[in-house]
Structure 1
């Protein structure tokens, strides 16, 4: 009876509420509902229906209207917490939907159309109503999470409409948050609760629905799900996609104005990522939501935040920046990038559609990090960027390159966009800008505001491109075999980039930060850019050695072994040395044999070992590599080059001399082979000087084109590279050597042909170099005569027309240093002593900086070892260093002694480079000159016998049998390619095993095509 009485009272109250037409009269009646007990679900349903019926959708009529709506929400919030409310949850959802629509509409009108129409009291009441509506929305989401509704069509539409309207009110509230100052904190708190509960609801829905295929199969479309399961899944996808869409818009709103709404920014974007990762049908969800737009927005937000940060630090930046401040500036950027990485890993196909924007963002981050290194007061910012942003930005690239869902063609497009060929060869500055390097500033508008569509023409990002490629090479162990193969084809791009003057200068001078240690407590270590590049390339060589990419790496090493640019040549030579030191024996022998074949081909082309020739350049690289090669390999190579069969071969003679002039490691040969090699050089030298003791023969029978007297050059080279000692020369040959030197001097004096004089000058320099290493030669009586002859030569021929004598000054300096082993009389009556003094005077008067250095070195060595006491006699009063730098009117002996003391006491060069603007400017100018030289060589490849990649250009014809075989292989490759294409069109190509086999075959065929094309290019007819 008590329950019936309570029910009767409730019905009477509900009837009274509906019958009341005055708003002020309804408010106390509605409040009474909050105190009325509910005994069953039907009564709760009656209350819920009454409440959403009372909510009028008309325009707000005043404070009474707001009070009534506020009372309705308070009553509904109480009954929403009851356990028996699932039966009437739909009515509460309708009420929440109507409240959200009403509040959103009036909130917009309040601030846009009639801002001053509400008085202060009404405004505050309305704001509280908005806050109550948001709180009720959060409670309704929680109720839905606790009591998931059945998937009936009517309820499904109510739920979807409810979620859309709640999140729409949230967007309006957040967009007007600055005007809701009195309740701003409460709105943000309620918004965060709504977002959290919305994510939980989507998780519950995705876990509750059966996404597995059902037994019932539709006959029409072949879908393995029954209609009910399909409808349920569609509902879950609709709810999830609607939530994601609104979260995405909220995230954009929260990011506006610098991202001040941190809590909303955090929850909204994390919610987007979480919901996109739900297992609710990835393909269908991707069709309903524009995932690429979400990725693009995150990347754009990161890019915009990076631009603002760079502008804040744009030069002139006078203050000091702490690591904490720098990290705080980079935190929003890292937040956007991390969320972008998570979405890209889940939806790589969608991410690949906007890969240009993604790669552009990565390039901007890398470029800014390198630009910051140029300024000492921004070094902490560069360190923070290396620790905070670079790992995450590089993860964006790795995510796409390592994705199994992306085709190799797509990955190749990504790498081509990062490293386009034309960008590597473009200059970052015009010729007129090179001289203004001292005024160079970090310009964010120039370095960071380019459009991603213009990636191939963005020259100002080339430093970032180089750094990205080097990082990919360094982390190649984490990449797939097909990506490693693609990267191997980008090695030539890297060398082309080093030709750019700014990259050249930056590589040589700049130290970059590297993150080491655990990710939880990383440490920043500074490393020179040059060594970072070398270590990355060496890592890549190790990874590539066990895959098909090694063919490309080997081709790269062989083609660039004599690269015309010094930095590129140094890098390639270092890689050869690394290969020689650490490669397995079979791999080393095979690669070194190919290198040997290449230099042998070059020597056979008729080139002589003249300075700066291709043969000399390659000989230098080969000698450096052989210094790192095991003895057995060196013995084998020496035997193949200079065995009995090749002893009298002209190419062998040219190659032998070129290698000796560049320091062939004779000491690394086995003992017997070294003795044989030294004996061969000495025998040839002795025979040459004997046959030319009185007059120089114009040409010897075995001479090399462009070079006469190769035995003299060979012995001089052995001494220069410390491959032979002076005591190994028999004393019986000393007088012939001195006599030959005087013959050269007399010959130079007697002839008038300028071309022949150059030849005599070279002989004189080589013989003086040989004598300077033979200590016992200075004890011969004939040495006095030679000194006098040298004095007469250098004093008689000092005119401009005989300026080629300067070419002998380095050898003369070495010869003068060795005079400390000679017995010298210090009296003025001794002609040989006077001759020695005059020779030193001649040397020390030279004003060229290189000759000044050589003269000081010679005099310092002489003074340290000689028994002479009157050293002042060797120094002229007008020595080059006796003059003041600014005022050269009168010499001062104290200046010379001061400079000599500095030279003798100098410890050496600095161990750690500390570049300044002047050094950077000099390197940029030097790089510009080198680039012009390289461009001329590229335009005229046949002039020096080498093409763009350093390959020797020679017209050749292969035998007909080989050409026929190449044609057969090419036809076979075409047949295999056609077969692979047909296989891909078959139905079974969708299986994972088929795809893997197809990819493997595709990589093999690509490698074979490259090899066969290279073989065909060997024939000029090919």
Structure 2
């Protein structure tokens, strides 16, 4: 072996000189002899090392120090040979084969030595633990470890050198890095006491980042057209190779991988950023698909190799998640080489294309990486799931940002499904991918320590001020209602119903943004997604047989938010229908005019709101409703025509809206004899210039729906017909509306009316300054012909978007919308902080949900039950009194007012005491 060492040293020294002489075309014969000698040296060394591997007692044959020097010399010779390989075209293939033989024989020797050495004793050797390589332990492993360390480092150098060549040294690249991984695996973790494995992992990560940056730079400057599959694969296969080896090493040495976790996380973010940038460009969609197929699984495996390791402490895992998902975490990492790579990568496509900026690509890349962590969380450890759960708040904070909000709805990304044998790539909207990933994580976290914190997060954010966050929360809760176990479903319903009772009060009834309406909306949606028993549980928990004011408020809010009676079981649905009709008919027999000037009006007239809200899902006997409703409509319109009190006008317009809606759902509405008078009085109310329009908006939408039913009436088209003139004036008013919601309702109503009416002169119903007649692109000018063309498109739904194709205009609109929502969210949060609470009812929610209700004495619960029974008896007596003595309304109404206050007090007592009837 000494001869081989000397020959190798001589060859390495003369290789540079020989290569130089070849460029000058001198001494060709000398060069040929030299390269033959170089081959002989390599082949001789390979044969020597192979023979040495099969020797039973190495110490008797050769000194281990000689073996170490020989390995070092041969690997140095191979490295120098690779540097000049391009100049040795005639001999390059022979030199590559010989070099591989040498590397293979060296790796086999080290592997054989590993199998006969006691690594456990080596790891326990005090001198080795202190970093000394002169330890002569009981098994004399120190010389072997020195050889291993030398070989691994030299193979790393060869791997780095081979990566710089554009594919010419693939065999050396493959052999050297696989050798590194093999030796580190066989070291069983003991090598980390003498070898800095973290540097090796970081080298692989840097090579992956460099390859990505090179590909991105090349593609962004090219203009030949779409990137082909072959080109994209040629760019990403080396990256996958580096990541695969990094995963293998990190799995064996997770604590060493943690030391360079910032480089790993930045590489993962870099891949996500590139995927985002490529997805935005049509020419690069193939490349984006291949990233999803080839690199995304490797990225997740690399991260989870550290996060799932038992050797990595919990606080260290949380530190990794913090470095990824904390606001501004990238700013502190720009001095890192990988961080610079990522920043440069973000600029590459932003400079070449205007569709996405560098900052947006980085932010969206982090969000996409979080989505991937959620998707791949099925194999995550419990403490990792807990850490991910605590980062959901970061995700919600990022979704509020204008750029994210715009792209989350407009951008599509490729997702790979299936197995290695059959992989399918599907393009999905980023928002849909987020929802699916969150649901996946919900399933994986359902049986571990993160479940309680996840449920708390969902319930806490059900009142989130931002719309997109509310929608995400509700989508996950609906998912749980469909597929979770009954115990989970019942627990969610109980907590939300308890919270609903704590926030339901009169002033919030007609405010769609109030806490009562929000939680009623949530419960209604959850009931639709659950089973029939779940819907019965919701209805029974909220209303049941309770007749208190609190139950009336909750029932109104619940039905106004779309709860369908069809969800209930047959028996409970019939009971609910009888209650609605009974309360409505009883109300119609009372005197209600005196209450229209105060807040109790809405509560007193709750039966009207309940019937109106239940008509979409329930069929009633119209004979019990029509005459009473028409009478009530005339009464309300009479008050509106005479009153000037603002509170009265506000309440009357709210009641007018509900009454018009009730009549709109009645069959044969146009056959009522009183319809002519209804039209004329509505015209007087809405077209009167002497009255303010402050509260008319409350009932304009229902007026549009009501007027659609007039299409079946016989209408004279003469100018003398007051009914026809009133209808035209009302449609003029509605079609002038500029608010998008009212404009939509007006167009829908007019379209229904125009398609079915016997009138021929429809142009008389359209004002010259209708909303659709304005052309905003031409300085808000009126174009009469434009109305009909836009109206035709509206009816035929030609303007609807059939696929997501984001444009710059659409992104600008979404960003403007996001900015308004963000400002509104910040104002709400600031107001809530001033009030000393995190959300409108979070304080009450916090007290109600996590903590157990304190048990009160049995006597208190019994007393409350007796009070409730007494109130039911008194309510029945009031109904009988009204029927028996209808001539004494003043005393009856006075008693009813005090009775309502008493009902509120007892209902509050029942909710506090936990009475079953509350």
Q: TM-score range by the shorter chain?
A: 0.7 to 0.9
**Any idea what SS the aligned residue of 2:612 has?**
helix
Q: Deviations over 1:485-530 (max 9, x none)?
A: 3323233232222222232222222222121222034221222222
Q: Deviations over 1:763-787 (max 9, x none)?
A: 3333322222223443333221121
Please name the residue that 1:282 is paired with.
Answer: 189
- Pick from 583, 589, 600: which aligns with 2:501? 600
In structure 2, do the counterparts of structure 1 residues 709 and 380 end up closer, same or farther at CA, with 3 Å as the change threshold? Answer: same
**Any idea what SS the aligned residue of 1:320 has?**
coil
Please name the residue that 1:627 is paired with.
Answer: 528
1:764 aligns to 2:666 (yes or no)? no
Q: Deviations over 1:288-343 (max 9, x none)?
A: 22111100000011011111111222278562111221111111111111111111
- Pick from 265, 272, 285: which aligns with 2:180? 272
In structure 2, do the counterparts of structure 1 residues 644 and 458 end up closer, same or farther at CA, with 3 Å as the change threshold? Answer: same
Alignment check: 8 A CA contact 1:258 1:305 kept: no
In structure 2, do the counterparts of structure 1 residues 420 and 122 end up closer, same or farther at CA, with 3 Å as the change threshold? Answer: same
- Pick from 537, 545, 549: which aligns with 1:636? 537
Alignment check: 8 A CA contact 2:346 2:362 kept: no
1:809 aligns to 2:705 (yes or no)? no
In structure 2, do the counterparts of structure 1 residues 846 and 766 end up closer, same or farther at CA, with 3 Å as the change threshold? Answer: same
- Pick from 734, 743, 766: which aligns with 2:638? 743
Larger CA deviation: 328-337 vs 830-839: 830-839
Please name the residue that 1:857 is paired with.
Answer: 748
1:503 aligns to 2:411 (yes or no)? no
In structure 2, do the counterparts of structure 1 residues 626 and 505 end up closer, same or farther at CA, with 3 Å as the change threshold? Answer: same
**Any idea what SS the aligned residue of 1:527 has?**
strand
Alignment check: 8 A CA contact 1:423 1:458 kept: no
- Pick from 611, 615, 619: which aligns with 2:516? 615
1:938 aligns to 2:829 (yes or no)? yes
- Pick from 548, 552, 560: which aligns with 1:648? 548
Larger CA deviation: 774-783 vs 165-174: 774-783
1:715 aligns to 2:611 (yes or no)? yes
**Any idea what SS the aligned residue of 1:561 has?**
helix
In structure 2, do the counterparts of structure 1 residues 722 and 743 end up closer, same or farther at CA, with 3 Å as the change threshold? Answer: farther
- Alpha-carbon separation, structure 2, partners of 1:692 and 1:423: 66
CA displacement at 1:814 relative to structure 2: 0.8
Please name the residue that 1:156 is paired with.
Answer: 64
- Alpha-carbon separation, structure 1, partners of 2:366 and 2:41: 52
- Alpha-carbon separation, structure 2, partners of 1:783 and 1:829: 18
Number of aligned residue pairs: give it.
Answer: 831
- Pick from 479, 483, 486: which aligns with 2:384? 483
CA displacement at 1:680 relative to structure 2: 3.9
In structure 2, do the counterparts of structure 1 residues 147 and 896 end up closer, same or farther at CA, with 3 Å as the change threshold? Answer: same
- Alpha-carbon separation, structure 1, partners of 2:112 and 2:807: 62
Alignment check: 8 A CA contact 1:779 1:823 kept: no
In structure 2, do the counterparts of structure 1 residues 148 and 448 end up closer, same or farther at CA, with 3 Å as the change threshold? Answer: farther
In structure 2, do the counterparts of structure 1 residues 183 and 605 end up closer, same or farther at CA, with 3 Å as the change threshold? Answer: farther
Please name the residue that 2:442 is paired with.
Answer: 541
CA displacement at 1:203 relative to structure 2: 2.2
Please name the residue that 2:293 is paired with.
Answer: 387
Please name the residue that 1:925 is paired with.
Answer: 816
Alignment check: 8 A CA contact 2:506 2:553 kept: no
- Alpha-carbon separation, structure 1, partners of 2:684 and 2:854: 65
CA displacement at 1:367 relative to structure 2: 1.8
In structure 2, do the counterparts of structure 1 residues 395 and 157 end up closer, same or farther at CA, with 3 Å as the change threshold? Answer: same
Please name the residue that 1:792 is paired with.
Answer: 684
- Alpha-carbon separation, structure 1, partners of 2:343 and 2:70: 51
In structure 2, do the counterparts of structure 1 residues 130 and 887 end up closer, same or farther at CA, with 3 Å as the change threshold? Answer: closer
- Alpha-carbon separation, structure 2, partners of 1:153 and 1:140: 12
1:196 aligns to 2:104 (yes or no)? yes
- Alpha-carbon separation, structure 2, partners of 1:950 and 1:571: 20
Gaps of 5+ in 1: 1-92, 222-226, 427-440, 450-456, 965-1022
Q: Deviations over 1:373-418 (max 9, x none)?
A: 1112211110011111111111101212222322222222222222
CA displacement at 1:201 relative to structure 2: 2.1
Please name the residue that 2:467 is paired with.
Answer: 566
Alignment check: 8 A CA contact 1:96 1:136 kept: yes
Alignment check: 8 A CA contact 1:657 1:714 kept: yes
In structure 2, do the counterparts of structure 1 residues 233 and 153 end up closer, same or farther at CA, with 3 Å as the change threshold? Answer: farther
- Pick from 325, 350, 353: which aligns with 1:419? 325
Scaled by the length of structure 2, what TM-score is found?
Answer: 0.82
- Alpha-carbon separation, structure 2, partners of 1:797 and 1:318: 67
Alignment check: 8 A CA contact 2:118 2:139 kept: no
1:906 aligns to 2:797 (yes or no)? yes
In structure 2, do the counterparts of structure 1 residues 757 and 528 end up closer, same or farther at CA, with 3 Å as the change threshold? Answer: same
In structure 2, do the counterparts of structure 1 residues 424 and 579 end up closer, same or farther at CA, with 3 Å as the change threshold? Answer: farther
Please name the residue that 1:843 is paired with.
Answer: 734
Please name the residue that 1:438 is paired with.
Answer: none
CA displacement at 1:421 relative to structure 2: 5.3
In structure 2, do the counterparts of structure 1 residues 945 and 757 end up closer, same or farther at CA, with 3 Å as the change threshold? Answer: farther
In structure 2, do the counterparts of structure 1 residues 726 and 296 end up closer, same or farther at CA, with 3 Å as the change threshold? Answer: farther
- Pick from 69, 73, 76: which aligns with 1:168? 76
- Pick from 650, 658, 661: which aligns with 2:557? 658
Please name the residue that 1:407 is paired with.
Answer: 313
1:975-1014 aligned within 5 A: none
In structure 2, do the counterparts of structure 1 residues 129 and 742 end up closer, same or farther at CA, with 3 Å as the change threshold? Answer: same
CA displacement at 1:465 relative to structure 2: 2.5
Q: Deviations over 1:905-926 (max 9, x none)?
A: 3378444323223222322232
Q: Highest CA radius of gyration, 1 or 2?
A: 1
1:493 aligns to 2:394 (yes or no)? yes
Alignment check: 8 A CA contact 2:680 2:723 kept: yes
Alignment check: 8 A CA contact 2:657 2:702 kept: yes
Q: Deviations over 1:835-868 (max 9, x none)?
A: 2232223333445544443222112212333344
Please name the residue that 1:532 is paired with.
Answer: 433
- Alpha-carbon separation, structure 2, partners of 1:660 and 1:602: 16
**Any idea what SS the aligned residue of 1:546 has?**
coil
**Any idea what SS the aligned residue of 1:903 has?**
helix
In structure 2, do the counterparts of structure 1 residues 471 and 961 end up closer, same or farther at CA, with 3 Å as the change threshold? Answer: closer
Q: Deviations over 1:656-685 (max 9, x none)?
A: 222122112222223343344344444555
- Alpha-carbon separation, structure 2, partners of 1:442 and 1:253: 25
Gaps of 5+ in 2: 130-134, 333-341, 351-357, 856-918
- Pick from 513, 519, 526: which aligns with 2:420? 519
**Any idea what SS the aligned residue of 1:829 has?**
coil
In structure 2, do the counterparts of structure 1 residues 289 and 117 end up closer, same or farther at CA, with 3 Å as the change threshold? Answer: farther
**Any idea what SS the aligned residue of 1:592 has?**
helix
Alignment check: 8 A CA contact 1:470 1:533 kept: yes
1:205 aligns to 2:105 (yes or no)? no
- Alpha-carbon separation, structure 1, partners of 2:324 and 2:33: 57
- Alpha-carbon separation, structure 2, partners of 1:558 and 1:192: 61
CA displacement at 1:585 relative to structure 2: 1.5
- Alpha-carbon separation, structure 1, partners of 2:632 and 2:802: 42
In structure 2, do the counterparts of structure 1 residues 738 and 186 end up closer, same or farther at CA, with 3 Å as the change threshold? Answer: same
1:669 aligns to 2:568 (yes or no)? yes
Q: Deviations over 1:255-275 (max 9, x none)?
A: 235564222211111111111
- Alpha-carbon separation, structure 2, partners of 1:827 and 1:252: 92
- Pick from 215, 234, 250: which aligns with 1:344? 250
- Pick from 309, 313, 325: which aligns with 2:231? 325
- Alpha-carbon separation, structure 2, partners of 1:678 and 1:229: 89
In structure 2, do the counterparts of structure 1 residues 963 and 596 end up closer, same or farther at CA, with 3 Å as the change threshold? Answer: closer
Alignment check: 8 A CA contact 1:473 1:540 kept: yes
Q: Deviations over 1:128-150 (max 9, x none)?
A: 43343233322322332344552
